[in-house]
Amino acid sequence: MKATVSAWLLSEWPSWYGQDGPGDLVGDVDAFAQSENSLPVGFVVFKEHEPVGFRTLKQESIPSHKHLSPWAATGFVLPQYRSQGIGAFMLQAIVAHASLLGYQQVYCGTSTATSLLQRAGWRRLEQINHAGKPLGIFGSGV
Protein backbone atom coordinates (compact mmCIF):
# COMPACT_ATOMS: atom_id res chain seq x y z
CA MET A 1 0.00 0.00 0.00
CA LYS A 2 2.92 2.36 0.67
CA ALA A 3 3.93 2.17 -3.01
CA THR A 4 0.40 3.09 -4.11
CA VAL A 5 0.17 6.03 -1.71
CA SER A 6 3.66 7.19 -2.72
CA ALA A 7 2.68 7.16 -6.40
CA TRP A 8 -0.48 9.15 -5.63
CA LEU A 9 1.41 11.79 -3.64
CA LEU A 10 4.08 12.14 -6.28
CA SER A 11 1.54 12.50 -9.09
CA GLU A 12 -0.67 14.98 -7.21
CA TRP A 13 2.10 17.14 -5.71
CA PRO A 14 5.17 16.82 -7.99
CA SER A 15 6.54 20.24 -6.99
CA TRP A 16 6.59 19.11 -3.34
CA TYR A 17 7.45 15.42 -3.60
CA GLY A 18 9.31 15.45 -6.92
CA GLN A 19 13.06 15.23 -7.40
CA ASP A 20 13.75 18.92 -6.69
CA GLY A 21 10.91 19.43 -4.20
CA PRO A 22 11.31 20.01 -0.47
CA GLY A 23 9.05 17.10 0.56
CA ASP A 24 10.26 13.78 1.94
CA LEU A 25 8.04 11.25 0.18
CA VAL A 26 9.41 8.11 1.84
CA GLY A 27 9.60 9.73 5.27
CA ASP A 28 6.07 11.12 5.07
CA VAL A 29 4.50 7.86 3.88
CA ASP A 30 6.36 5.92 6.58
CA ALA A 31 5.22 8.42 9.24
CA PHE A 32 1.58 8.26 8.07
CA ALA A 33 1.65 4.45 8.44
CA GLN A 34 3.16 4.30 11.96
CA SER A 35 0.16 4.31 14.29
CA GLU A 36 -3.54 5.08 14.51
CA ASN A 37 -3.06 6.33 18.07
CA SER A 38 -0.75 9.26 17.38
CA LEU A 39 -0.13 11.91 14.75
CA PRO A 40 0.57 11.89 11.91
CA VAL A 41 -1.77 9.19 10.68
CA GLY A 42 -2.89 8.33 7.16
CA PHE A 43 -6.05 6.62 5.95
CA VAL A 44 -6.64 4.83 2.67
CA VAL A 45 -10.22 4.65 1.38
CA PHE A 46 -11.33 1.53 -0.49
CA LYS A 47 -14.22 1.08 -2.87
CA GLU A 48 -15.05 -2.49 -3.84
CA HIS A 49 -11.69 -3.69 -2.44
CA GLU A 50 -9.70 -1.17 -4.51
CA PRO A 51 -7.80 1.76 -2.96
CA VAL A 52 -9.31 4.99 -4.30
CA GLY A 53 -8.21 7.75 -1.94
CA PHE A 54 -5.98 8.90 0.87
CA ARG A 55 -6.17 11.52 3.62
CA THR A 56 -3.94 12.38 6.57
CA LEU A 57 -4.35 13.92 9.98
CA LYS A 58 -1.20 15.60 11.23
CA GLN A 59 0.00 17.86 14.02
CA GLU A 60 1.20 20.79 11.88
CA SER A 61 0.63 21.95 8.33
CA ILE A 62 0.96 25.71 7.81
CA PRO A 63 4.16 27.16 9.37
CA SER A 64 2.44 30.45 10.27
CA HIS A 65 -0.35 28.57 12.07
CA LYS A 66 1.45 26.24 14.47
CA HIS A 67 -1.01 27.34 17.15
CA LEU A 68 -3.74 25.34 15.37
CA SER A 69 -3.81 21.54 15.53
CA PRO A 70 -4.50 18.96 14.18
CA TRP A 71 -4.75 19.37 10.42
CA ALA A 72 -6.61 17.41 7.76
CA ALA A 73 -4.03 17.28 4.99
CA THR A 74 -2.86 15.40 1.93
CA GLY A 75 -6.32 14.68 0.56
CA PHE A 76 -6.38 12.69 -2.67
CA VAL A 77 -9.07 10.78 -4.58
CA LEU A 78 -8.39 9.04 -7.90
CA PRO A 79 -9.85 11.20 -10.70
CA GLN A 80 -12.37 8.57 -11.83
CA TYR A 81 -13.82 8.43 -8.29
CA ARG A 82 -14.14 12.17 -7.67
CA SER A 83 -17.57 13.79 -7.20
CA GLN A 84 -18.90 10.60 -5.58
CA GLY A 85 -18.76 11.72 -1.94
CA ILE A 86 -15.43 10.06 -1.15
CA GLY A 87 -13.72 13.34 -0.22
CA ALA A 88 -16.56 14.24 2.16
CA PHE A 89 -16.46 10.73 3.64
CA MET A 90 -12.72 11.08 4.26
CA LEU A 91 -13.24 14.42 6.01
CA GLN A 92 -15.87 12.86 8.29
CA ALA A 93 -13.51 9.99 9.09
CA ILE A 94 -10.65 12.38 9.91
CA VAL A 95 -12.86 14.45 12.22
CA ALA A 96 -14.14 11.29 13.95
CA HIS A 97 -10.60 10.00 14.41
CA ALA A 98 -9.44 13.35 15.79
CA SER A 99 -12.26 13.15 18.34
CA LEU A 100 -11.04 9.69 19.42
CA LEU A 101 -7.60 11.22 19.98
CA GLY A 102 -9.11 13.96 22.17
CA TYR A 103 -9.24 16.87 19.71
CA GLN A 104 -12.32 19.08 19.48
CA GLN A 105 -11.38 20.97 16.31
CA VAL A 106 -9.69 19.97 13.05
CA TYR A 107 -8.17 22.47 10.61
CA CYS A 108 -7.48 22.43 6.90
CA GLY A 109 -5.65 24.84 4.63
CA THR A 110 -6.61 24.73 0.96
CA SER A 111 -6.67 26.62 -2.29
CA THR A 112 -8.45 23.85 -4.21
CA ALA A 113 -10.98 22.13 -1.92
CA THR A 114 -12.94 25.13 -0.64
CA SER A 115 -16.31 23.95 -1.96
CA LEU A 116 -15.78 20.43 -0.55
CA LEU A 117 -15.02 21.81 2.91
CA GLN A 118 -17.98 24.20 2.82
CA ARG A 119 -20.37 21.44 1.71
CA ALA A 120 -19.05 19.32 4.58
CA GLY A 121 -19.92 22.10 7.06
CA TRP A 122 -16.41 23.40 7.69
CA ARG A 123 -16.09 27.14 8.43
CA ARG A 124 -13.60 29.47 6.78
CA LEU A 125 -11.59 31.01 9.61
CA GLU A 126 -9.36 33.22 7.52
CA GLN A 127 -7.77 33.76 4.12
CA ILE A 128 -3.98 34.00 4.01
CA ASN A 129 -1.20 34.29 1.47
CA HIS A 130 0.92 31.13 1.61
CA ALA A 131 3.88 30.54 -0.72
CA GLY A 132 2.61 33.33 -2.95
CA LYS A 133 -0.91 31.89 -3.29
CA PRO A 134 -4.22 32.57 -1.55
CA LEU A 135 -5.06 29.87 0.96
CA GLY A 136 -8.23 29.43 2.98
CA ILE A 137 -7.91 28.20 6.56
CA PHE A 138 -10.96 26.17 7.60
CA GLY A 139 -12.06 24.62 10.87
CA SER A 140 -14.58 21.98 11.77
CA GLY A 141 -15.97 21.27 15.21
CA VAL A 142 -15.61 17.74 16.49
pLDDT (tens digit, 9 = 90+) per residue, 57-72? Answer: 999 999 899 999 999 9
CATH 3.40.630.30 fits 31-141, yes or no: yes
Stretches where the chain sits below pLDDT 50 are none
List of E strands, the chain: 41-47, 50-58, 71-77, 105-110, 123-130, 133-141
CA distances from 47 to 15, 25, 74, 115 (A): 29, 25, 19, 23
Model pLDDT, residue 63: 87
The full set of domain ranges for the chain reads: 31-141
Model pLDDT, residue 131: 78
